[in-house]
Structure 1
Amino acid sequence: MSAGTKTAKVSVWRQPAQVWAVAFACVIAFMGIGLVDPILPAIAASLQATPVETEMLFTSYLVVTGVAMLFTSWISSRIGTKATLLIGLGLIVVFALLCALSGSVDAIIGFRAGWGLGNALFISTALATIVGAASGGSSAAIILYEAALGLGIAIGPLVGGILGEVSWRGPFFGVVALMAIGFIAVLVLVRSAGEKRTPVPLSAPFRALRQPALAVLATAALFYNIGFFVLLAFSPFPLGFGAMGIGLTFFGWGVALAITSVWIAPILLRTMKRSTAMLIVLPLLAIDLIVAALVVGSAPALVACIIAGGLLLGLMNTILTESVMEATDLPRSVASSSYSAVRFLGGAAAPPIAAALWHAFNASVPFYFAAVSVLISAAVILFGRRALRRIDVHEADATEEAAAVLVGDAA
């Protein structure tokens, strides 16, 4: 995003219809990350589910998304990007509808897994489509994609809160309607004629993790994502708000994340090395989580910690993505897929562990657990810094950044 944005500013908002079709679908796909946040307590109450069972809605979604990431490049390189987009969108529509019609939390957990498969197929292909069709070059495509990411993450909880005030089923029906529109837009507007396909070996993402730098970053991201998803998925329970209150809180969180990810992180990285920036941001995030543990009984104070956490998470997301991009000579999409698969495992494990710790001890312990995980992430970066020397001396060009953001920012 930092390279070539000046040239993209002239034409970034003047794009072909197929670019806007995919960008719109991206917003809806990213809304799915936080959409269920405001309705977690309502689902637990309505379906007589424990907090651990309810948190599995995140786990099933993230596990399947992460595992599927290892295979999406292999699939799309064979059937084409438009077919992959449509299959992904179609799966999201079907499984979101099944979630809305479900009568048990176990059924929703299973259907969220199917939703995760659709999401992996879609998000792993969306930016490649935008890059190929956008006017203004790759820089314009990156701006559009990150704008869609930030908008989706920000408004997902808000829409979830508004519809969740009517029924916990409302947000799921909302996704069905919006994704169906996205499906039709992609079907009608995205062109596939003349598309070149270069098959990617099935083993490529697995081999990528043998690279020391990528292994260090993936391991750090695994522990970092524990902190990310404790803040996102567990915080609604101790807040004690209704669906609208939770939605507004995480709308603020999403806006904060988007601001630092899109605008502040590039400024920060012009003043310091990427590894140095991570070693500053991660301890600050751990401090924020410790403060959240100490003030968990005060809803206003916890809201402040959640929004402050969003600012730090936005910085870390962008820094990690750029670091993965520069870590190896591997194709950026392959490296990003491998990294994201490992990263999602941390996100998948965090919500049920946090709920179990809350049940066994108190509401502060999950935040302490998250803080320790984030500090482990910082330690991995610190002790693996020799393997990361490359990320501090290489600048990304716009094309490489597009390929990296393709998967890495989608978590």
Structure 2
Amino acid sequence: MESNSILKQPRAVWAVFFAGIIAFMGIGLVDPILPAIAKKLHASTSEVSLLFTSYNAVMAVAMLVTGTISSRIGIKGTLLSGIVIIALFSGLGGISNGIWTLVGLRGGWGFGNALFVATALAAIVSLSTSGVTKAIILYEAAIGLGISVGPLLGGELGAISWRGPFLGVAALMVIAFVALTLMMPKSKTPAGARKKTSLLDPFRAMKHRALVVFGFTACLYNFGFFTLLAYAPFVMGLDEHGLGYVFLGWGILLALTSVFMAPKLQARFGTVKSMSAMLALFGLVLLAMGIWTNTQWVIIACVIVAGALLGNNNTLITTGVMNAAPVERSTASAAYSFLRFLGGAIAPYFAGKLAEWYNPHVPFIVGAAFVLASVVFIVLNRKHVRHVDLAAPSH
């Protein structure tokens, strides 16, 4: 059927897709300038890693209120609010002068991102004409494209000044705001007729064991993910351009595998088995980074290869979550994202501290241990998530 094509989507889906690319640029855009921020603002590795910690901590908590907000002001209103907040706090970050001010502003940026990310996934899934699985692939493609282009742009702007990427995000979010305003229609449901979502709904959703299993697995996995993202730039010995190119390679593989390879793995081996395999391989890649931390080419190769594993895993786990529990998808996304970003909040600062307390090898080895623990956890709980592979693949 023609309507089932992933490319045949309503205009509103493409508007969210485009805005999603720009929003996710914000993650990778900052990565190439972490060492430069440390140098210019006289901050330690662990202090600079708090830029990820504050961002993820605020995002984790804010995920719990995204459903409540979107059920009252609508999907479009929530997406636009998120974009305005990201633009405001990233712009203020670009003109700030101290590491602690910057850490606080990144927290505000995280709140805006929470409003956008949780709502964008729900919007693309609900507005898409090609079914849940293909809609999630489209969402992951937006993440992949944003994450891959972000570091390249961040490296180029960061080579001019560490402030460049922050101001760049603010400018890009203005473009995203205009695109969404023009291309996304207003909700046809009157504000008074919308079903209001309670603040307690994400917690109620957690009574479904499958959702908690996926959320806690992602929490453990994010320890490894954000160790790589926040700490690897400090051991590569590259300038802003070099870091931008390495993370471009990482992001391209992440984008390609999330769109083209993950669906094939899912169809052939099932969601849970494929996810477990990707997590196990990612754990081994981090272990290799921990062993050969002082060998530059090993670290660079491992970061790029990790992109392929992360792309597959992100699509697989998001698909699993959307089919995990009989609750509204926005509520499922909020509950899962809360658990997931807790790991992302602790890991960056913890990685920086481990390096300061012990040596540069330890953060990667500890990150690998958390990722491998996520594999053990999901295997032990596989009976609770087996049903996600029985869900219809495209509806």
Confirm whether residue 84 of structure 1 aligns to residue 83 of structure 2: no
SS of residue in 1 equivalent to 2:5? helix
Confirm whether residue 305 of structure 1 aligns to residue 305 of structure 2: no
CA distance 1:140–1:384, shift in 2 (3 Å): closer
State how far apart, in whole Å, the 1-side matches of 2:278 and 2:183 are.
41
- The one-letter code of the counterpart of 1:207 is R
Match of residue 42, structure 2, among 44, 48, 61: 48
Aligned residue for 1:341? 338
Match of residue 220, structure 2, among 219, 223, 233: 223
Aligned residue for 2:241? 244
State how far apart, in whole Å, the 2-side matches of 1:373 and 1:345 are.
13
Aligned residue for 2:53? 59
State how far apart, in whole Å, the 2-side matches of 1:6 and 1:162 are.
40
State how far apart, in whole Å, the 2-side matches of 1:384 and 1:185 are.
43
SS of residue in 1 equivalent to 2:326? coil
RMSD: 2.0
Aligned residue for 2:390? 393
Confirm whether residue 96 of structure 1 aligns to residue 90 of structure 2: yes
SS of residue in 2 equivalent to 1:168? coil
Cα deviation for residue 7 of structure 1 reads 2.9
Match of residue 279, structure 1, among 276, 281, 294: 276
Cα deviation for residue 346 of structure 1 reads 0.3
Cα deviation for residue 279 of structure 1 reads 2.6
Aligned residue for 2:252? 255
Aligned residue for 1:208? 205
Match of residue 181, structure 1, among 175, 178, 187: 175
State how far apart, in whole Å, the 2-side matches of 1:216 and 1:140 are.
23
**Is contact 2:144-2:311 (8 Å) kept?**
no
The one-character-per-residue Cα deviations of 1:207-258 (angstroms, maximum 9, x if unpaired) are: 1112222222211111111011111111000001111111110111111111
State how far apart, in whole Å, the 2-side matches of 1:10 and 1:324 are.
23
- The one-letter code of the counterpart of 2:198 is P
Aligned residue for 1:357? 354
**Is contact 1:293-1:367 (8 Å) kept?**
yes
Cα deviation for residue 6 of structure 1 reads 7.9
Paired residue total = 392
State how far apart, in whole Å, the 2-side matches of 1:84 and 1:286 are.
36
The one-character-per-residue Cα deviations of 1:98-126 (angstroms, maximum 9, x if unpaired) are: 10000001001000110111111122223
User: Structure 2 regions of 5+ residues with no counterpart?
Assistant: none
State how far apart, in whole Å, the 1-side matches of 2:128 and 2:324 are.
27
**Is contact 1:296-1:302 (8 Å) kept?**
yes
**Is contact 1:39-1:243 (8 Å) kept?**
yes
**Is contact 2:3-2:129 (8 Å) kept?**
no
- The one-letter code of the counterpart of 2:25 is M
- The one-letter code of the counterpart of 1:190 is M
- The one-letter code of the counterpart of 2:32 is P
**Is contact 2:86-2:109 (8 Å) kept?**
yes
Aligned residue for 1:171? 165
CA distance 1:385–1:184, shift in 2 (3 Å): same
User: Structure 1 regions of 5+ residues with no counterpart?
Assistant: 399-411
- The one-letter code of the counterpart of 1:91 is I
1:147-158 to 2 correspondences below 5 Å: 147-158=141-152
Cα deviation for residue 308 of structure 1 reads 1.2
Aligned residue for 1:296? 293
CA distance 1:96–1:9, shift in 2 (3 Å): closer
Cα deviation for residue 5 of structure 1 reads 8.7
Cα deviation for residue 297 of structure 1 reads 1.0
CA distance 1:357–1:172, shift in 2 (3 Å): same
More divergent stretch after superposition (211-220 vs 358-367): 211-220
Aligned residue for 1:68? 62
- The one-letter code of the counterpart of 1:296 is T
Aligned residue for 1:405? none
Aligned residue for 1:368? 365
CA distance 1:57–1:65, shift in 2 (3 Å): same
More divergent stretch after superposition (114-123 vs 162-171): 114-123
The TM-score, its normalising length taken from structure 1, stands at 0.90
**Is contact 2:278-2:313 (8 Å) kept?**
yes
Confirm whether residue 27 of structure 1 aligns to residue 24 of structure 2: no
CA distance 1:234–1:119, shift in 2 (3 Å): same
Aligned residue for 1:408? none
The TM-score, its normalising length taken from structure 2, stands at 0.94
